[in-house]
Structure formats: C-alpha cells, structure tokens
C-alpha cells in the first residue's frame, strides 16, 4: 500500500470545502488558491485552482438552464466580452509571473472586500426583483446602458481570468440595473458568464502549462462532491454564517500574504 500523501490530502480537503462554499455563499478560490501556493508558485496555483473548481461552475450553469433560456438575449450580448476578457486576464498571468505574485495580497484583499458588500448588495437586488410580490419582466436597456454594461463586463472578465475571486458579486451588482429579471434569473446569468470567463482562462492556462494536473484532477473530483454537499447543507444552514467565514479567511490571508511578500 503506497504511503498517504498528506499534501494531496490537504489540497483535496480545501477543494471539498471550496466546492461547498461556492454552493452556499461563494469564495471557494480563497481556500484552494492559498493552499496551492504552499506547494507551487502563485501563477501555477492560480491555473490549477481554476481547473479544479471549473466542473462545479459548469454544473451550476446546467442547473440554471431554465432561467438562462429566459435571458438568452442578454447572455449573448455579454458572451463575447466575457470570453475575450477571460482570455486576456489569463494571458496576463503567464506574461509576468513575478508581477502576479506581487499582486496576490491585493487580489485577495479585493476579493474579501467584495464579500463584505455582498450581503447589502444581495438585499438590494432582492428588493428590486420583487415589489409587492410581483416579479418584474425582463426589459430592453437603452444603448448607453448596454454599452456601459458590456464595457464593465469586459473589465470584470479580465479580472476574472487573472484571479477570479469575487467576480460573482461584481456581476450581480450591475445585473440589477439591466432589467435581467428576478434574483434567480440574475444568478443564472452570473453563473453562466462566470463559467465562460473561467473556461477561457482554462484554455490559456493549459496552453501556457500553468496547471499541475496531479493536483488539479483529484481536487476537481473533491470540489464536485463538496459542491453537492454544500447544496444540501445550504437548505439548512444560513448562508450568512458561511459568508462571514469567507470574509474572515479573506482578510486573514490578505494580511498573511502582505507580510510574507512585503514584510
């Protein structure tokens, strides 16, 4: 019997909880990425983490299929900027790996701040999506609003391809202005566009050889299992408690990486 690989075991545990957290409140990257940086470089950790969590994103998109069909026009408009931005962000990681390592503390801090505002933004979106118990219909935005939304989505996609933690709340914060529909439809669009961004990044990371497959494959399996378990737990556990944990982890990791990198 081969000896137990404690490093791989720890990475798989982080992937399991990351998948569960993504199902409940998001923020799984804040577990897998730091765990991977303990054994491989930040650029490789970013690519490997993206690959590991990708199957859960695809499954989420499939689960939202009925809601996606109701917003297919908006999804098509945002598909190209999401794809191109995801490619560009991932490309930038491979161009200067040292610069990416320097930005890691700031990226994690940004993700943590985004999760801080997630609660208030979610409440605001729910209040807009249901007034008097009546769900609003999807409406067509004017060309100025649409142009601004496409430009913002392109910037979000660049960040998503480069690092990715927190892109969901960035997209949700704008979808409420776009008349996409109720909160469920906005979540569906957000999940699909996030999957598109990550898929583009995955292609670049594989091309540039920034994936450690010996870690990525078992972590992906555990992330799928964790995602399923998280979905079951989400029915019983208030998401806010998990979100508080994500925020605490995010700020703690950010402080750790600032000290390690600049201290």
Which pLDDT value is given to residue 133?
47
Answer with the residue of higher pLDDT: 113 or 169.
Answer: 113
pLDDT digit string, tens, across residues 80-115: 999 999 999 999 988 887 788 788 788 878 877 876
The b/e string for 11-44 (b: 16+ C-beta within 10 A; e otherwise) is: bbebbbbbbbbbbbbbbbbbbbbbbbbeebbbbb
Mean pLDDT, residues 136-144 taken together: 60
Handedness of CA 197, 198, 203, 206 (dihedral sign): positive
Residue 135 has pLDDT above 50, yes or no: no
> In the predicted model, what is the mean pLDDT of the chain?
80
Give the span between the Cα atoms of 72 and 87, in whole angstroms. Answer: 22
Mean pLDDT, residues 68-73 taken together: 82
Q: Is-contact 189 75, C-beta < 8 A? A: yes
Which pLDDT value is given to residue 85?
96
Which pLDDT value is given to residue 2?
44
Among residues 31, 102, 79, 72, the alpha carbon closest in space to that of 252 is found at 31
Question: Which residues are within 8 A (CB) of 171 and not within 5 positions of it... i.e. 6 or more apart?
Answer: 153, 156, 189, 190, 193, 194
Q: What is the pTM of this model?
A: 0.75
| Percent of the chain's residues with pLDDT above 90 | 28
Give the span between the Cα atoms of 35 and 39, in whole angstroms. Answer: 8
Answer with the residue of higher pLDDT: 22 or 47.
Answer: 47
Indicate the length of the chain as a whole number. Answer: 263
Q: Return the minimum-mean-pLDDT range out of 42-56, 107-121, 181-195, 246-260.
A: 107-121
Residue 45 has pLDDT above 90, yes or no: yes
Which pLDDT value is given to residue 132?
47
Greatest Cα pair distance, the chain, in angstroms, is 65
Q: Is-contact 78 150, C-beta < 8 A? A: yes
Give the span between the Cα atoms of 222 and 224, in whole angstroms. Answer: 5
Which one of 19-28, 67-76, 106-115, 232-241 scores highest in mean pLDDT? 67-76
Which pLDDT value is given to residue 212?
95
Cα 102 → chain centroid? 21
Which pLDDT value is given to residue 136?
47
Which pLDDT value is given to residue 182?
66
Answer with the residue of higher pLDDT: 109 or 168.
Answer: 109
Which pLDDT value is given to residue 26?
67
Which residue intervals of the chain are DSSP H helices?
6-24, 29-37, 42-63, 65-69, 72-95, 97-129, 143-162, 167-175, 183-207, 213-234, 239-262
Burial status of residue 221 (CB atoms within 10 A of its CB: 0-12, 13-18, 19 or more): middle
């Amino acid at each position: 019997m081969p000896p137990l690989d404690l490093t791989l075991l720890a990475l798989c545990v982080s992937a399991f909880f990351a998948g569960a957290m993504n199902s409940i409140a998001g923020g799984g990257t804040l577990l897998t990425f730091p765990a991977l940086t303990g054994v491989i470089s930040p650029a490789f950790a970013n690519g490997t983490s993206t690959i590991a969590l990708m199957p859960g994103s695809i499954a989420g998109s499939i689960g939202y299929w009925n809601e996606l069909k109701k917003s297919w026009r908006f999804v098509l408009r945002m598909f190209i900027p999401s794809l191109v931005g995801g490619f560009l962000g991932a490309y930038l990681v491979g161009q200067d790996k040292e610069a990416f390592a320097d930005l890691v503390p700031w990226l994690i801090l940004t993700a943590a701040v985004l999760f801080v505002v997630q609660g208030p933004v979610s409440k605001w979106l729910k209040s807009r999506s249901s007034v008097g118990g009546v769900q609003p219909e999807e409406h067509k935005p004017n060309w100025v609003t649409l142009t601004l939304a496409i430009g913002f989505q392109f910037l979000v996609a660049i960040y998503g391809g480069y690092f990715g933690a927190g892109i969901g709340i960035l997209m949700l914060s704008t979808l409420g202005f776009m008349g996409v529909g109720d909160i469920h439809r906005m979540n569906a669009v957000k999940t699909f566009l996030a999957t598109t961004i990550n898929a583009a990044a995955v292609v670049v990371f594989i091309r540039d050889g920034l994936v450690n497959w010996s870690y990525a494959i078992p972590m992906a399996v555990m992330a799928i299992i964790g995602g399923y378990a998280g979905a079951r737990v989400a029915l019983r556990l208030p998401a806010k408690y998990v979100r508080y944990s994500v925020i605490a982890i995010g700020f703690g990791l950010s402080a750790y990486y600032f000290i390690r990198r600049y201290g």
